């Protein structure tokens, strides 16, 4: 008995071709996704700093493609040119600097250089005071807000003031402002969320305090709440004792010159940081 076998033919149907193309496209997208994200939100005037990750490409010269991190000196080592200082330059200025070096060194006649800022690490800010993780933090994200920086620092520590102080430099001049966190997080019209800049210092201090003593249930030190009145301070201390009276209430306060003043406020008068409230004993 004879068995006739048909010769095998490679099977490459149109469906298989489309499947292969789809797999290739998916692989290409995966490879792209593995590349570090370009800091596309970097402003045009952003200055490259030490620690920043940059990718440099020269058109039609793949051997000159370089991905490197800027050294502490602000320099990088670039093929053919050696040490090139990029620290303090914008992206456009860095492109012009490398272009000039390649052209003036007679390496390329008309070099077309592209510099991509892949990661922002060089610029740092400091968070001091009553936060859970004080220290220095890199501005990994261009346009980082104060609220985001506080989150990196672990948030406010117990007993911290809800008004923080931000200082630094803007437009070549010293900059200092206070940020009201309840207004910020409550999205009130007065709330602002400043953008951080390299060298900024965020300080979180203690809240303003008052002192209540005399004929009250719980004399001691208390946090000065917003618009706190003398009556509210007495209530915070548990109220007057059976021997106490609200008549003749005294407040000791230091003026701007440091002199001690003795005041007799109304119960609705607002207190100030450092006030000492004294509740007298009743004469009857």
Chain segment 126-179, per-residue pLDDT in tens: 999 999 999 988 776 667 899 999 999 999 999 999 999 999 988 888 999 999
Residue 70 in any domain: the answer is yes
User: What is the reported pTM?
Assistant: 0.59
Q: Is residue 200 part of a domain?
A: yes
For residue 31, the model assigns a pLDDT of 41
Query: Residue-wise over 206-240: b if at least 16 C-beta within 10 A, else e?
Result: eebebbbebbbeebeebebeeebbbebbbebbeeb
Same domain, 213 and 268: yes
| Banded model confidence at residue 120, pLDDT cuts 50, 70, 90 | confident
- Is the same domain home to 220 and 200? no
Q: Is residue 146 part of a domain?
A: yes
Judgement on whether residues 221 and 200 belong to the same structural domain of the protein? no
Residues 226 and 197 in one domain: no
Q: Which of 102, 119, 136 is the last residue of a domain?
A: 119
Rounded to an integer, the average pLDDT of 203-224 is 94
34 assigned to some structural domain? no
Distances (CA, A) of 232 to 161, 212, 271: 19, 11, 10
- Whether 100 and 136 map to the same domain: the answer is no
Query: 269, 231 in Cβ contact below 8 A?
Result: no
Range of the domain at 238: 209-279
Confidence tier at 10 by pLDDT (50, 70, 90): very low
Ordered alpha helix ranges (H), 122-278: 146-152, 181-185, 230-236
Q: Which two tokens stand for residue 281?
A: 């004993």
Band of residue 190 on the pLDDT scale cut at 50, 70, 90? low
Q: What is the pLDDT of residues 27-47, one digit of tens each?
A: 443 443 334 444 544 555 678
Q: Which of 119, 134, 162 is the last residue of a domain?
A: 119
- pLDDT confidence of residue 237: 94
Query: pLDDT (tens digit, 9 = 90+) per residue, 229-264?
Result: 999 999 999 999 999 888 889 999 988 888 889 999
- Residue 222 pLDDT exceeds 50: yes
Task: Based on the fold, state whether residues 153 and 167 are members of the same structural domain.
Answer: yes
Question: Are 63 and 83 in the same domain?
Answer: yes
Our count of domains for the chain comes to: 3
CATH number at 194 reads: 3.10.560.10
Say how far apart CA 64 and CA 208 lie, in whole Å. 59
Q: Give the range among 122-131, 187-196, 199-208, 255-264 with minimum mean pLDDT.
A: 187-196
Residues 197 and 128 in one domain: yes
Domain-terminating residue out of 204, 220, 255 = 204
Q: Domain holding 100: CATH number? A: 3.30.1950.10
User: Looking at residue 283, what is its pLDDT?
Assistant: 76
């Amino acid at each position: 008995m004879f068995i006739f076998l048909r010769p095998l033919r490679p099977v490459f149907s149109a469906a298989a071709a489309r499947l292969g193309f789809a797999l290739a496209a998916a692989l290409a997208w995966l490879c792209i996704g593995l590349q570090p994200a370009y800091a596309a939100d970097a402003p045009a005037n952003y200055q490259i700093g030490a620690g920043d990750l940059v990718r440099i490409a020269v058109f039609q010269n793949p051997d000159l493609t370089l991905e490197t991190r800027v050294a502490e000196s602000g320099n990088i080592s670039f093929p053919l040119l050696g040490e090139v200082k990029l620290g303090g330059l914008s992206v456009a200025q860095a492109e012009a600097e490398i272009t000039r070096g390649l052209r003036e060194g007679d390496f390329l006649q008309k070099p077309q250089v592209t510099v991509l800022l892949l990661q922002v690490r060089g610029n740092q800010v400091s968070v001091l005071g009553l936060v859970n993780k004080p220290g220095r933090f890199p501005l990994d994200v261009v346009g980082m807000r104060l609220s985001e920086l506080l989150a990196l620092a672990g948030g406010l520590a117990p007993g911290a003031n809800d008004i923080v102080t931000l200082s630094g430099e803007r437009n070549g001049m010293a900059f200092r402002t206070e940020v009201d966190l309840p207004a910020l997080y409550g999205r009130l019209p007065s709330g602002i969320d400043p953008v951080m800049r390299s060298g900024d210092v965020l300080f979180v201090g203690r809240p303003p305090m008052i002192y209540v003593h005399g004929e009250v249930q719980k004399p001691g030190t208390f946090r000065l709440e917003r618009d706190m009145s003398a009556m509210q301070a007495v209530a915070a201390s548990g109220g007057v004792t059976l021997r106490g009276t609200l008549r003749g209430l005294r407040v000791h306060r230091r003026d701007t010159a440091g002199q001690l003043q003795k005041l007799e406020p109304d119960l609705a008068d607002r207190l100030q940081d450092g006030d000492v409230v004294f509740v007298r004993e009743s004469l009857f």
